[in-house]
Amino acid sequence: MDPYLRRRLAAVTTAHVADACVRAAVRVRFGPAGTRPVVPGTRLAGPVFPVRHAGSAHVLLEAFDAAAPGDVLVVDNGGRLDEACVGDLMAAEARDAGLAGIVIWGLHRDTAEVRAIGLPLFSLGAIPCRSTRTATRPPDALAAATIGDWTVTREDVVLADDDGVLFVPSARLAEVVVAAEEVRAAERRQADRILTGHPLRDRVRFGAHLALRAD
């Protein structure tokens, strides 16, 4: 990803980008509600590197070798809530490989150690139990990942913050970033006016609307 575009993307929120996607007629693709950072306040943006987890850490190690610095590992563990598919060792490997962070459709473990490692990590939560499954590795294990209702590939970019996770097609990213910056600027103007004694209710003549509705 272009470094200048990455910096601009990092300066807008997932809420700005969600509104921008609507403006630009880009489908709003988001991770399941409850996907949150291990460290509150963490923000993450970068190209998707997808992984389908099948019980073994081998596929993650392979991904670290194949991913480019700055990529975000997006791990599909089917939303399972009975096992953790990433812990401190995988987080440390990801940081060593130069990845920007990890997003998991599933759970993590070793929370204290992951926080100390400092790599941004988003998941549905934590559980102490690691995976003991031995499943057949899917043929597209490093080509696509399903996160909730959506399937993402290396043609996507992921943005994550305290509100959750969003995916944007790389081909539409530049125009979505421009629209997100416009949304951010408009919302800041509105917020400033509210804080200086000009309520939004007055400016949209909400009282008159209520009176007409009553009539």
What pLDDT is stored for residue 119 in this prediction?
A: 97
What pLDDT is stored for residue 139 in this prediction?
A: 87
Structure tokens at 70: 């700055």
What pLDDT is stored for residue 183 in this prediction?
A: 95
Instruction: Kindly indicate whether the domain formed by 30-171 is annotated with CATH number 3.50.30.40.
Output: yes
Do 30 and 18 meet the contact criterion of CB atoms below 8 Å apart?
yes
Q: Among all chains, which residue has been given the structure tokens 């990213």? A: 173
Structure tokens at 121: 């990590």
Distance between alpha carbon 77 and the CA centroid of its chain, in Å?
16
What pLDDT is stored for residue 203 in this prediction?
A: 66
Going by their DSSP bridges, the two strands 144-147 and 150-153 should be labelled as: antiparallel
Q: Among all chains, which residue has been given the structure tokens 């809530």? A: 81
pLDDT along the chain (215 residues), means of 10: 87 96 97 96 97 89 95 97 96 97 98 97 97 82 96 97 97 96 90 78 72 80
What pLDDT is stored for residue 136 in this prediction?
A: 77
Q: Would you kindly state where each structural domain of the chain is located, as residue ranges?
A: 30-171
State which amino acid sits at residue 205.
R
DSSP-derived secondary structure for 13-41: -HHHHHHHHHHTT---EEPPTT-EESSTT
Do 207 and 201 meet the contact criterion of CB atoms below 8 Å apart?
yes
What pLDDT is stored for residue 63 in this prediction?
A: 96
Whether pTM exceeds 0.85 = yes
Task: With both helix axes pointing from N to C terminus, report the angle between 88-96 and 58-66 in degrees, rounded to the nearest 10.
Answer: 10
Helices (H), the chain: 3-10, 14-23, 58-66, 88-96, 111-117, 173-195, 200-203, 206-214
Do 5 and 171 meet the contact criterion of CB atoms below 8 Å apart?
no
Do 33 and 148 meet the contact criterion of CB atoms below 8 Å apart?
no
**Pairwise CA distance, residues 123 & 44, whole Å:** 13
State which amino acid sits at residue 40.
P
Distance between alpha carbon 108 and the CA centroid of its chain, in Å?
16
- Residue 163 backbone dihedrals phi, psi, to 5 degrees: -85, -15
